[in-house]
Chains A and B, each alone.
Chain A
Amino acid sequence: MSRLVLPERVRLRYRKVGRVRFTSQRDLARVMERAMRRCGLPLAHSSGFSPRPLLSFGLALPTGCASLAEYLDLRLDPDRESDAVEVVGHDAADPADLAHLCRRLSEALPDGVDVTAAAALFGPEPSLQEAVASCDWELEVLGVSPAVMTGRVERTLGAETVEVARERKGRAVVDDIRPAILALSVVDRPPHELEGHGEVVSLAASLATRPRGVRPAELLGALGDDVRLLAACRTHQWMDHDERSARTEPLTEDGTVWGGPPARTEVRGG
């Protein structure tokens, strides 16, 4: 295999579908690390007592949910170059090699995990955790008919507050998730019966990530105790840019990464 010429900082976009979606975010992080080592990627490591590879994942994907739009930022170490990879500045990186990287990683990853885009990072891009403001979901649920579900969706959207019980730092709390439900609708699909389970209803939801993310299971809880989740797929993660009221993906499938406003001043810790 030819040696890849890669930039020091890379953002990856990947899918997680099929059986492998039953692995946890933590499991997938380890799977990624091993796949990267198998590909000879010279990952930079944290310093200190117990060095860890510098990988930063975006919003955790709940175990069991599929996704078409997951992201991961990684940092390569020019001092650890291998036979497989040469590390250069972002402007000297070869775009074709980023495409090769996607292919090599996808081959090294389990079935169902595919790296669909890679791009060099170079500016003061905000971290994935900070940047993503909302996620789009497709949900398949069981337990009620499409007509009943349509009524419940309307009631939920019309409600002032939608309360869910959560546990935070070991204490039971009640949160209002209504502000985080940006959109919710029943998707018009031909009727589909799952043997032994009844009719499947498809929902489309757009859920905000702040102040706290809403998990698909919590949304369903709000739609009724008799609603059971069959499948969930995150289709998009969106970054909001207030100034332009535009939204973009952290990295599109065609490899475009939004660089952030050029002179943004980051204010941290108040």
Chain B
Amino acid sequence: MSSVWDRVEPLLWHVEKPARYIGGELGCCVDDKGPDAVRWLLCYPDTYEIGLPNQGLQILYSILNERDDAAAERAYAPWCDLEALLRERGIPLFSVESARPAAEFDVVAFNLSAELTYTNVLNMLDLGAIPLRTEDRTGDPVVIAGGHCTYNPEPLAEFLDAAVLGDGEEVVGELNDALVAWRATPRSRRDRRALHLALAAIEGVYVPSLYAPRYRDGRLVGYDPADGAPATVEKRTVADLAAWPYPREQLVPLTEVVHDRLNVEVFRGCTRGCRFCQAGMITRPVRERPRDQVLELVRDGIARTGYDEVALTSLSTADFSGIESVVGALTERGAAGHDVAVSLPSLRVDAFTVGTAAAIQQVRRTGLTFAPEGGTWRMRRVINKLISDDDLFAAVEAAFSQGWRRVKLYFLIGLPTETDEDVVAIAELAARCVALGRRHHPSASVTASVGGFVPKPHTPFQWHAMDSVAELRRKVGILRDAARRVRGLEVRWHDPAASVAEGVVSRGDRRVGRVIERVWRDGGTFQEWSERFSLERWEAALAAEGLDLEVTALRSRDRDETLPWGHLSAGLHPDFLWGDYESSLAAEGLEDCRWTPCYDCGACTTYGIEHVVASPTPPAGGSQGTGQGLDLTGADAPTLVALSATRR
């Protein structure tokens, strides 16, 4: 094994934030394994400070390094300044631990958490002197991807040897076993195709080269799986989170990163059933970590890391059974040896949750964030975010009355069935929140943060059309006009052009791979960074490949159309998704199945697993998705449907 450190070190005087490239974190693993161990390079295709905190990558890092037959190091996308210097001097992409060149690893694995990072995946492979296309690799590293975006890996299909669907804790070991066996084969007989078949035999592993897409009249019409490749690849699900208290040693970086704190995952999965939310759909069912294990992980983690803040992470932490008792135990003075701030990154919209937040944020009450997502009650029924206006007002009232000065509200625009009234209602709702705040503080303010909706694979909206850039911009304009005269209300919006590019890469088929390659070759790296993003580049690349935004991203899909991700399964029955889509168009809500009878979405029944939830009843005070506290007889009542009765 070699190191390029001596060549890199003199360059670090000339780059921004050189600490991105030095490793040395607390918890960083030094490779002391034997020559037979499989060497993994775990990559995050964005900067160090964005990628380091990624818990998925850290979990795999921890699991692999515990094994005698595996060793994992990490690499992040070098910023443009260092990349230019590396290319100028012919220095390849290297790991942060030992500055070992990427091509010397057996596996190069990417975490895919955001679609617009895909151009960086290609850039890192190229910088690592690894052939871009699977078909061109021979003795080169095996290129694998995991993370939420792999539920539609088709745009990266030509560049990946394999993509892993679902929880990685178990499958990563099975992949390592397969690679150990592969390495034991004499070099002359190491046929790449045989490796692909061995990987495809592992549940949850998709090997794109074994699936030939068929097109007719420019439309994808199906896939032909090779012999030995399953017709449908099912995701992996860890049944019991308690068996996986990982990462064992969270990395503590030497330089500042996002989410720079201890993170403890309290549960995985969410069954609130928000129809726009891909994460909620693909990570079902809910699996809670036992309360005592959470406390232990927090106390040990705080003592080991020296952090003074811990985030209890999940898709909706206020739903964790007994959240108050956990928060109570952690905020007791001296519980962890020194004062520790607890943060709940995702708050539910109700007054009760604010009470919990108040209990943990005794000192710094700067801002609080809620996500009503839709401006009207009708809109929120469409997306199944069943919080009433009164829930929101109670939450906001509670926040301002308990000392917060600033409330941030997240909304989506471009949602199915959305009218201009729904958009204007965002401003009206936010204005009423400002008015509530002004009763407590003359300087109370509300920020309405607006994102453009991208209908994602494996959600009930996967068939639905997406708004164009012009339409999203028009709606932002309406909203700004409506908010203009409201003092204390600020509207912020995500660039509609970036949302549409995200639509291209998240909804596209295998042909989008060439588009990504063109954007990359044209210099389009770091597309998550607004200063580096340009939609023109994407449009030109689409045109050069005979595609356009309309066909690839925007148009609606028929029920019987072959979806690019149709041969990949998160367990959800297509019938369930279609039925839920129809309910959505009729503005009918669906209850949270954690506390109500199963409607058989497929996430549990397909895999013979169940929710792991300590509390048999919904949390007090919240109506969101549970029906609890809502007047079901009023004109505004949500229609709660039992889908299992109407399917099949």
- Residues of A at the B interface (CB closer than 8 Å) are 19-20, 22-24, 26-27, 30-31, 33-38, 40, 42, 49-51, 63-64, 80, 82-83, 108, 110-112, 142, 194, 196-197, 228-230
Contacts and interface: CB of A to CB of B under 8 A. Distances in A.
21 contacts: A19-B22, A22-B18, A22-B22, A23-B254, A24-B255, A30-B256, A33-B308, A35-B306, A36-B306, A37-B306, A37-B307, A40-B338, A49-B363, A51-B363, A63-B19, A64-B18, A80-B338, A110-B254, A194-B10, A197-B10, A228-B13
B252 interface: yes
B442 interface: no
A27 B19 contact: yes
A111 B338 CA distance: 25
A34 B23 CA distance: 17
A110 B13 contact: no
A53 to B, nearest CB: 9
Contacts of A194: 10
A31 B255 CA distance: 8
Contacts of A64: 12-13, 18
A1 B429 CA distance: 58
Interface in B459-481: none
B566 interface: no
Interface in B69-88: none
B632 interface: no
A20 B22 contact: yes
Contact of A23 (B10, B13, B255, B337): B255
Contacts of A40: 337-338
A26 B19 CA distance: 12
Nearest to B303: A38
Contact of A229 (B13, B305, B363): B13
B632 to A, nearest CB: 44
B26 A33 contact: no
3 closest Cβ pairs, A-B complex: A34-B306, A22-B18, A38-B306
A20 B254 contact: yes
Given A23-B19, A27-B254, A37-B308, 6 more contacts: A19-B23, A37-B306, A37-B307, A64-B12, A196-B7, A228-B13
B13 A33 contact: no
Contacts of A49: 363-364
Given A38-B304, A38-B306, A64-B13, A22 B337 contact: no
A50 B364 contact: yes
Contacts of B345: none
A44 to B, nearest CB: 12
A20 B26 CA distance: 12
A35 B26 CA distance: 10
A22 B306 contact: no
A215 to B, nearest CB: 12
Contacts of A36: 306
Nearest to B16: A63
A83 B334 CA distance: 11
B21 interface: yes
Interface in B239-287: 252, 254-256
A80 B21 CA distance: 37
Nearest to B12: A22
B24 interface: yes
Contacts of A24: 19, 255
Nearest to A232: B13
Contacts of B10: 142, 194, 197, 230
Nearest to B9: A19
Contact of A34 (B7, B21, B307, B364): B307
A33 B305 CA distance: 11
Nearest to A41: B338
A29 B23 CA distance: 17
Nearest to B22: A19
Contacts of B19: 22-24, 27, 63
Contacts of B303: 38
A26 B13 CA distance: 17
Interface in B346-388: 363-364
Nearest to B365: A49
A34 B12 contact: no
A143 to B, nearest CB: 12
Contacts of B338: 37, 40, 42, 80, 82
Interface in B46-100: none
B364 A33 contact: no
Nearest to A22: B18
A111 B24 contact: yes
A33 B337 CA distance: 14
Interface string B13-43: 1000011011110100000000000000000
A138 B37 CA distance: 43
Contacts of B12: 22, 64
A63 B24 contact: no
A228 B13 CA distance: 10
Interface in B209-260: 252, 254-256
Nearest to A111: B24
A228 B304 CA distance: 41
Given A23-B254, A27-B255, A37-B306, A110 B24 contact: yes
B436 to A, nearest CB: 23
Contacts of A22: 12, 18-19, 21-22
Contacts of B305: 34, 38
A31 B12 CA distance: 20
Contacts of B363: 49-51
A212 B229 CA distance: 69
A82 B21 CA distance: 36
A51 to B, nearest CB: 7
| Most chain A beta-carbon neighbours within 10 Å: one of B23, B306, B307, B363 | B306
Contacts of A229: 13
A196 B363 CA distance: 55
Contacts of A112: 24
Nearest to A112: B24
Nearest to A82: B337
B308 A31 contact: no
A80 B337 CA distance: 10
Interface in B132-181: none
Contacts of B256: 26-27, 30
A31 B19 CA distance: 13
B301 to A, nearest CB: 11
